[in-house]
Amino acid sequence: MTGRQPDDHEQPAGQEQSAGHRPSDERALTSAQADVDDRAFETSLRPRRLIDFVGQERVREQLELVLESARRRGQPPDHVLLSGPPGLGKTSLALIIAAELGAAIRVTSGPAIERAGDLAAMLSTLSEGDVLFIDEIHRIARPAEELLYVAMEDFRVDVVVGKGHGATAIPLDVAPFTLVGATTRSGLLTGPLRDRFGFVAHMDFYSDVELVRVMTRSAEVLGVPTRPGGTEEIAGRSRGTPRIANRLLRRVRDYAEVRADGVVSREVARSALAVYDVDELGLDRLDRGVLDALIRRFSGGPVGVATIAVAVGEEVQTVEEVAEPFLVRAGLLARTPRGRVATDAAWTHLGLTPPAGRASWPGGTGPTLFDPS
């Protein structure tokens, strides 16, 4: 991994990849993970300054204070940890931090740092005030993480020379720098590493209004004409994630150019997303397949996730890590001690009426530990 600032055609290695299962190609439209096309596309759309960054108002305000205070002191700011689901702009904020400070940025990812020596070599090349961005920092190797502790606190690395009883640790000073770490799974960070970040920000999902602002800017950059209602229709199906919103905008643009007048309107967006199997809630084929199996084959549950996976022809890990998180967040599926249960909202979404007996269950979401078998 080279230690230089990426140009407009490069993206950080392992950009906002989760440690979990990678979605299949057919799910790419509604996956928050970035593929190769997304990385090239996002480069041209990334905001360059904090004032241009849409959404995350509280995080932007806090980060602005941290950066301005550092500029006035003439010192590097505290180390920054950005956490949250993929696709919300953690990498963009890292690049903005460097731009706001007028500093160079070195980019790498946790999985790429396999040995302490890899990290030591990178740290030794930093100049004063540089920004080091480590994406998916929770996946960094443990020996490298322990070396990072000292580097973050004392701006020093201990290089071990030799092996066994003859090994000697040689301390080497590194220039004061700012570490920006990004993680999609903050719970996997060790306590000592988390405690060394002076500023920790959690990024939340976007509202539909914020997503419309994101797509309006993207449409202007890409030269895509829109009509009132077009971006609003896409925003409602984007799962609160800018990356998904921009991806759907590109697909609707393609549809508009081939089968319509080239303008993204509400009607065109609806027709395009119907072709791509993305419904009004943002559910795709796998999501609806899980709900359909749960309701039509197993009367709404409770049923084990392994049984659901067999019913939809997917791996258990795919159902657990790809489909379930959004279904739970959307209030369509509940995880109970006895298995997965479809909520009343799921029945309604499929155009079905929940069984009358469900009214006795708390919230109409299914049985609890205290219900009879």
Residues recognised as catalytic: 90-91, 135, 184, 243
Measured in degrees and rounded to the nearest 5, phi and psi for residue 196 equal: -90, 0
Structure tokens given for 359: 């009214």
**DSSP β-ladder status, 333-336 and 339-342:** antiparallel
Structure tokens given for 20: 């979990």
Q: Are 80 and 65 in contact (CB under 8 A)?
A: no
Burial 294-330 (b: 16+ CB within 10 A, else e): bbeebebbbbebebbbebbebeeebbbbbbbebbeeb
Counting Cβ atoms within 10 Å, is residue 363 exposed (0-12), middle (13-18) or buried (19+)?
exposed
Structure tokens given for 326: 């959004």
- Closest by CA position to 107, among listed 192, 10, 176, 8: 10
Distance from C-alpha of 143 to C-alpha of 304, rounded to nearest angstrom: 39
> CA 226 → CA 120, 184, 221, 371, distances in Å?
50, 33, 12, 52
> CA 214 → CA 122, 220, 222, 227, distances in Å?
34, 10, 12, 15
Tracing tokens 């007028």 back to the chain, one arrives at: 102
* Local structure of 358: helix, strand or coil: helix
CB atoms within 10 A of CB 169: 10
Q: Are 273 and 237 in contact (CB under 8 A)?
A: yes
Residue type, 144: A
CB atoms within 10 A of CB 171: 10
Element (H, E) at 325: helix 324-329
